[in-house]
Amino acid sequence: MASQSLDTESGDRAASKVPILLLKTRSTPSDAYEEILTTSKPKNESLGRKFDPQFVPVLRHRFDEGGMQRTRSLLQANEIGDRPGCRYGGMIFTSQRAVEAFTKVVNDERGGHGESPFLQNTPIYSVGPATTRALRAIQVEPPLQIFGEHTGNGEALAAYIQQHYGQWYRDREVRPPLLFLVGEQRRDVIPRVLMDPSLPQGERIIVDEEVIYGTGVMKSFSEEFESILNDTRHEPERWVVVFSPTGCDTMLRGLGLLDESSEKVNLEHRDGRTFIATIGPTTRAHLVNRFGFEPDVCAESPSPDGILHGITKFTTSRT
């Protein structure tokens, strides 16, 4: 009887948790989303509800050898730096995957020549804390000079670059171009803002995008997502957090929301207990424009705190 009682209590505790399906690969050795969502107390704690984050990997990443070789050639030729005559005066990163590819380029280059690439006194712009942590992990001497961690999204980073980069090269009439390492799928907000034709020529900044990695949907995603949906089908509330436009169609199809004939979401098929949050405006815009679906939450900042705040705010407004 005692064993049965313990099993019942354990089951009650598990049932009290709100499943949050994170459509991403778990970061190692620790994942900030898992840590914050597991330890934070949601607004509906009075109802005995806590979060149970579960990872469902979606993206398969591959380095773009052409883009990596072109980046490697720029480093070998010392074409990225603050010296007059350099092709680029700085770099932009808005993706951890771009940092991973760049890290490989740096390590390969350093291994071949026994020295670090020439990036001293070169501003490196990063969109947020996760990307910044990845950049700071690159072992070069002196360390990379990284700016923009506080911005959190492309619009804010572009505005920050306009001000900061202008000061960095205030002694030049024309600011040198920036090199932006990107994936195949990305927003154009940073180049669009910095190269806006309406800006005075002296304030305009040329941004050259170099595709350094590509993405695709993992073959296992559909089955794993379906399995977790089945495991959580009796929960009174569950969340799906989407981190990229890639795989959105598979996600919507798995939830039974996608009308195959029109490839649009049929809102009548929503179950009233499965809610969707996006990490930011890019993925939200993709869901709205491609599938006619407005997610329940769009994080104000692309971070664990942004997701947590959006979910708890939404839950509070409903209760």
Compute the distance between CA of residue 267 and CA of residue 277 in angstroms, rounded to an integer: 16
Poorest-confidence range of 24-38, 163-177, 274-288?
A: 24-38
Number of CB atoms found within 10 A of residue 223's CB: 11
Supply the Cα-derived Rg of the chain in whole angstroms.
22
Q: Which residues contact 122 (CB under 8 A, 6 or more apart)?
A: 80, 81, 82, 89, 90, 91, 144, 145
Q: What pLDDT, on a 0 to 100 scale, did the predictor assign at position 142? A: 83
Quickly tell me which residue has 């990284």 as its tokens: 146
**How deeply is 165 buried, as exposed, middle or buried, from its count of CB atoms within 10 A (0-12, 13-18, 19+)?**
buried
Which residue do the tokens 């700016």 mark?
A: 147
pLDDT band for position 185 (50/70/90)?
confident
Judged by DSSP in three states, 158 sits in: helix
| Domains, in order of start, for the chain | 16-58+218-240 (no CATH), 61-215 (3.40.50.10090)
The phi-psi region of residue 314 (left if phi > 0; otherwise alpha if psi is between -120 and 50; otherwise beta) is alpha
34-43, 134-143, 255-264: which has the minimum mean pLDDT? 34-43
pLDDT in tens, 120-162: 889 999 998 888 989 999 888 888 999 999 998 888 999 999 9
Mean pLDDT of 220-226: 93
**Which of 19-33, 88-102, 270-284 is predicted with the least confidence, judged by mean pLDDT?**
19-33
The dihedral over CA atoms of 85, 86, 87, 88, expressed in degrees to the nearest 10, equals -130
Structure tokens at 124: 């490196």
Give the pLDDT confidence of 84-99 residue by residue, as tens digits.
889 999 999 998 889 9
Lowest mean pLDDT among 27-41, 126-140, 260-274: 27-41
